[in-house]
Amino acid sequence: MAGHPGERLTEGLDGLRDRLAEYSQMGAQFAKWRAVIAVGDCLPSRGCVEANAHALARYAALCQEAGLVPIVEPEVLMEGEHTLERCGKVTEEVLRMVFNQLYTQRVTLEGMILKPNMVLPGLTCPKQETVDEVADATVKCLLRTVPAAVPGVAFLSGGQSSELASARLNAMNVRFKSRLPWALAFSFARAIQQPALEIWQGEETHVSAAQQALAHRANCNRAARRGEYTDAMERT
């Protein structure tokens, strides 16, 4: 059980070993498991954090047993009025617990990818920090919690706008490039797809423009991964 009403636990480990073996035989190389952590006055509870971290670690161990690379996704949600500082504290707690469980389950850190949230203020928080402040808070949290053995950190975009997701990732790679023990990249869904979907709207005549929008966002985030993204790219 979750530790507080409204909290969610990631479930579905029953039979996962057999499914992963089947997917591996079919040619799969990666798998992803997502656990969500809400932030509130009494949230998250320690019980919820522990249970979700344990499930993520068990999934990761089963993936590696089947020859798959696990993408481990503990997401601290953006919904709410919490501050950047509060998000940072919760994210640090979650990541510490996740890596403790990964160690307990004997997961090879060199053979996994972490897909975390950025450290952000809640969507309805009155104070919304700058791009550089978000970059600083996020990298500071990761340096405190993520072992250097992890090869890559691929951020989720959550509820961020496409432009902010790119700018924040770029700022991390510009400001901390020489200090990062892992590659910082992106695994954005909404932040890459949403502009294209808004243009397309299921209309055949909009397909070409939607494809251009999708390619544009992919190129912007490729540049952000390299620390080469600029506002000017959004005006081309």
Catalytically annotated residues: 73, 115
Helix orientation angle between 131-145 and 162-175, rounded to the nearest 10 degrees:
60
DSSP 51-87: HHHHHHHHHHHHHHHTT-EEEEEEEE---SS--HHHH
How distant is the alpha carbon of residue 196 from its chain centre? 21
The residue among 117, 110, 68 whose CA lies nearest residue 93 is: 117
**DSSP conformation letters of 145-183:** HS-TT--EEEE--TT--HHHHHHHHHHHHHHSGGG-SSE
d(CA 72, CA 60): 7
